[in-house]
Structure 1
């Protein structure tokens, strides 16, 4: 049902560096920067696979209480997301692993981004034999 969403970030360049690295294992990247003449000079950029669906805009308030989950194609991609996000300065909020209390095939990892948002990568595929 959701077509796209966005979050406020305190430091666009710092957030961009984080999401560039964290989203790479999920096959997503920065696809568009909105020209400054349309934003009043505010930095606005959209991430996605085929089209922008997750937007960053430099503003406040930012942070805690917001949760965003991104689809991973495999459990290995969840693991790679977590490693990349931690290496990019994210803070652990749940190492990669099964979360059977959500669903029997739910495999996810959680990190806090530089603004305190809870960012998750999740794979719903059954574990391969």
Structure 2
């Protein structure tokens, strides 16, 4: 369904460190890098979707959207835990610790946080333990 998601950054280096560590914890690989300007990651097996980090092309400050969130898929619950810990250790702010959320469905296991720029993200797994 998705081709790619793009996240704007005002402090590219800080955000790049954050996302590099997060995607390493998820087992994804970096695919693109234009230092200080653009980076892109994709699933370890390749293909789409991509997630891009960039300074805004129009030169204006990046800003977060209220009510917007990007949910990243993890292979299992341990990966959710690892990615959430990596996010918090690299400047992220917790918006909901890892855990089951049975009001979504019985096996939904997710964690929520904001990146250093304030963008809200989720890491989730839909499989049984």
TM-score calculated relative to the size of structure 2: 0.86
- In structure 2, the partner of 1:20 is 20
CA distance in 2, matches of 1:26, 1:74: 10
Hey, what does 2:55 align to over in structure 1? 58
Q: CA RMSD in A?
A: 1.7
CA contact (8 A) 1:26 1:77 kept: yes
Structure 1 unaligned residues grouped into runs of 5+: 37-41
Confirm whether residue 75 of structure 1 aligns to residue 77 of structure 2. Answer: yes
Aligned residues: 121
TM-score (norm 1): 0.86
Deviating beyond 3 angstroms after TM superposition, the runs of 4 or more aligned structure 1 residues are: none
2: CA distance between counterparts of 1:94 and 1:68?
A: 14
Structure-2 separation of matches of 1:12 and 1:70:
20
1:15-46 alpha-carbon deviations (Å, 9 max, x no partner): 00001111212111321125x8xxxxx71111
Preserved contact between residue 82 and residue 96 of structure 1 (Cα < 8 Å): yes
